[in-house]
Structure 1
Amino acid sequence: MARIVFSAPPVDSEQTRSFRTHASYIRAFRELALGESTLSLEDAVAGLHASATPFLFTPDGAARACDRGQLMACLRRAWATARLLEHTHALAEDSEIIRLANSWGAVQTYYVLYGAAQALMVAEGGTRPQSHEPTKRRYVDLWTSRSLQIAPWTLAATSPGSRLADGDGILGGPGRALDFDLHPWVAWQGEQAWDIAAKALRSTRQLLVDDRLANKRREKLAAKKKQWRVDQEVRMASGRKPAVEPKTVRLTVAEREAATSAVRPATMADYLYRLRVKANYEDVTVFSDGPSSDHEATEVGADLVALASATLLVHELRIAAIIGMNDLVKAMDAVLLHASGGSTGGLAYRRDLHARLS
């Protein structure tokens, strides 16, 4: 059985620790999507297509009205980004530049999901969100808030006690208690992908919670200062000694609980956005300096490619159920017709899988 094993790095740097953690998270999402990496990517994608089709490709009669131009523009962006990811990984796979390629690969994987999710939102008759937060927020409704379970897309972390969540606040989980003490660096395998992926989502939601609590403290401090200024005018008018301007505030337990429970569920869209920000802004060296070997870097690149392809496939199936499989295949053919170079990556393979349903 395949296992994820990270060799001990020569120097336990901050970049190495961060890389090993995120490499494990990425592998967990990839395994929930496509199973353990014992099959070729094409065989794994074919298996996902066969298992997901009965749940996702359920046409409900005549094609629904939507902005086809906007829909296809979103899909083409997602397909083009995935193709760049695939080609870059293929070209860099056996060279030292795979580390640099993965920095962009993390960003590209997020944008594949971003474009595919927006395409599905438009297909369902909505408007395309204009920024990241509305897209991630609507992604929750797109996948998690439905009577559908297909991990990792429907997996989410929310507040314990939330409706439909388990006792640990996990939506769409495996129906068992999850081990949040399982360290992402250990040689986990099989069903433990659920534990690692849930840990990734839980830590991602905690970042959202921390941001909300910080905002609430700023709001409370601003209100306190406003009241202080009013009080100062009264004190000065009465000749009393000025009070010290407040510099900090603390939230009450009730305020903290209310703010925390109001934070929406965190999904894989949030995790990939977190990875995008980390790789592109916060720590641009995590993928270049973090791996202890080029082999580790290559494995992460392959997992990103696989996760992007799987993400496109499930969105394509749901879109085809709305607009018709023939129209989706025609759109894929139009892109493939003008594709330069000899390789067309996952798009051509998924097109052939979809064509069998048309």
Structure 2
Amino acid sequence: MARIVFPVPPVDSEQTRSFRTHASYIRAFRELALGESALPLEDAVVGLHASAAPLLFRPDGPPRSCDREQLLACLRRAWATARLLEHTHALAEDSEIIRLANSWGAVQTYYVLYGAAQALMVAEGGTRPQSHEPTKRRYVDLWTSRSLHIAPWTVAATSPGDRLADRDGFLGGPGRALDLDLHPWVAWQGEQAWDIAAKALRSTRQLLVETRLAGKRREKLAAKKKQWRLDQEARTASSRKPAVEPRTVRLTAAEREAATDAVRPATMADYLYRLRVKANYEDVTVFSDGPSSDREAAEVGADLVALASATLLVHELRIAAIIGSDDLVKAMDAVLLHTCGESTGGLAHRRDLHARLP
């Protein structure tokens, strides 16, 4: 079976530790989507199409009306971003440039999902969200709040108290207890992709929780300062000694629990957004300085390309069920007229698969 191994580099820097962790997370999502990475991408995409089409391509009558112009604009942005990702990886794969390419590859993979998800939202009759948070929030309704089970898109980390979650606090899980103690650097394989992906989602949701808790502390401190100012007026009027202005507050256990439970589920959209922020703002050197070899960097690049292609495919299938497969294929053909050197598993390949739909 395919195994993932990240050799320990001579210098265990912060960038290297971060890179190894995220490389493992990315590989886990890729394997949940397309199976073991030893399989050629073209074959993996064919397999995903065969297994996903019966679940996702379910026309419920004549093609529905929606804002076709907006829908196609979203799709074209996603397709163009995927092509940039694919061609950059192909050109940089055998050189040290792959490290720099992966920094943008992480950003581009998120924007592929962003555009594809918005296209599906429009296809279903909604309006296109104008920013990241509304898109990620609606992504939960788009995939995890339905009766679909197609990992990794329908998997989410939520509060353990959620009535629909399993005992580990996950939606759309594998139906078994998850090993959340499994370290992402170990030589994991097969079904353990679920455990590693779960760790990625759990840690991503924890960041959302910490942001919410920080906001609640700010709110509580603001309220406390407001009350302090009112008290000061009363103290001044009665010639009493001024009280010390509050500087910090603590949330009670009940307040922390309520705030934590109110945080929405975290999906792969949230993880890819987290990766985008890390690669583009927080730590731009994680992909350039983190890999212990160019080969390790190239493997991550290939996983990003594969995950982007798989993400487009599942969204395209659901869109085809709404607008009709013929219209989807025509839209793809219009783009392919101006495309050359299409990569394996890319737009032209998926177009041929969709053309076989009824």
Question: Under a length normalisation based on structure 2, what TM-score does the superposition of the two structures give?
Answer: 0.99
Counterpart of 2:261? 261
Q: Show structure 2 runs of 5+ residues with no match.
A: none
Q: Is 1:343 aligned with 2:342? A: yes
The CA distance in 1 between the partners of 2:95 and 2:52, in whole Å, is 35
Q: By how many angstroms is 1:65 displaced?
A: 1.2
Residue pair 2:16, 2:292 contacting (<8 A) in 1 also: yes
1:155–1:355 distance in 2 versus 1, CA, 3 Å: same
Secondary structure in 2 matching 1:188: coil
Counterpart of 1:130? 130
Counterpart of 1:250? 250
Alignment of 1:1-358 (within 5 A): 1-339=1-339, 341-343=340-342, 346-358=346-358
Q: By how many angstroms is 1:15 displaced?
A: 0.1
One-letter amino acid of the counterpart of residue 266, structure 1: A
Q: By how many angstroms is 1:342 displaced?
A: 2.8
One-letter amino acid of the counterpart of residue 103, structure 2: S
One-letter amino acid of the counterpart of residue 80, structure 1: A
The CA distance in 2 between the partners of 1:343 and 1:189, in whole Å, is 31
One-letter amino acid of the counterpart of residue 281, structure 2: Y
Deviations 1:263-288 (A, max 9, x none): 00000000000000000000000000
Deviations 1:97-143 (A, max 9, x none): 00000000000000000000000000000000000000000000000
Q: By how many angstroms is 1:237 displaced?
A: 0.6
Residue pair 1:225, 1:246 contacting (<8 A) in 2 also: yes
Deviations 1:280-325 (A, max 9, x none): 0000000000000000000000000000000000000000000000
Alignment coverage as a number of residue pairs: 357
Deviations 1:4-63 (A, max 9, x none): 001111100000000000000000000000000121100000000000000000000111
One-letter amino acid of the counterpart of residue 32, structure 1: L
RMSD of aligned alpha carbons: 0.6
Q: By how many angstroms is 1:344 displaced?
A: 5.1
One-letter amino acid of the counterpart of residue 283, structure 2: D
One-letter amino acid of the counterpart of residue 242, structure 1: P
Q: Show structure 1 runs of 5+ residues with no match.
A: none
Residue pair 1:120, 1:318 contacting (<8 A) in 2 also: yes
The CA distance in 1 between the partners of 2:142 and 2:221, in whole Å, is 36
Equivalent pairs: percent with the same residue? 89
One-letter amino acid of the counterpart of residue 121, structure 1: M
Q: By how many angstroms is 1:253 displaced?
A: 0.6
The CA distance in 1 between the partners of 2:163 and 2:114, in whole Å, is 26
Secondary structure in 1 matching 2:195: helix
Residue pair 2:161, 2:261 contacting (<8 A) in 1 also: no
Secondary structure in 2 matching 1:129: coil
Greater shift after overlay, 157-166 or 286-295? 157-166
The CA distance in 2 between the partners of 1:120 and 1:278, in whole Å, is 27
Q: By how many angstroms is 1:168 displaced?
A: 1.1
Residue pair 2:3, 2:187 contacting (<8 A) in 1 also: yes
| Deviating 4+ runs (over 2 angstroms) | 341-345
The CA distance in 2 between the partners of 1:355 and 1:194, in whole Å, is 32
The CA distance in 1 between the partners of 2:169 and 2:96, in whole Å, is 41
The CA distance in 1 between the partners of 2:354 and 2:289, in whole Å, is 40
The CA distance in 2 between the partners of 1:300 and 1:344, in whole Å, is 17
Residue pair 1:66, 1:123 contacting (<8 A) in 2 also: yes
Secondary structure in 2 matching 1:27: helix
Residue pair 1:157, 1:205 contacting (<8 A) in 2 also: yes
Secondary structure in 1 matching 2:166: coil
Residue pair 1:336, 1:344 contacting (<8 A) in 2 also: no
One-letter amino acid of the counterpart of residue 50, structure 1: A
The CA distance in 2 between the partners of 1:154 and 1:306, in whole Å, is 18
One-letter amino acid of the counterpart of residue 257, structure 1: E
One-letter amino acid of the counterpart of residue 97, structure 1: I
Greater shift after overlay, 59-68 or 208-217? 59-68
Secondary structure in 2 matching 1:59: coil
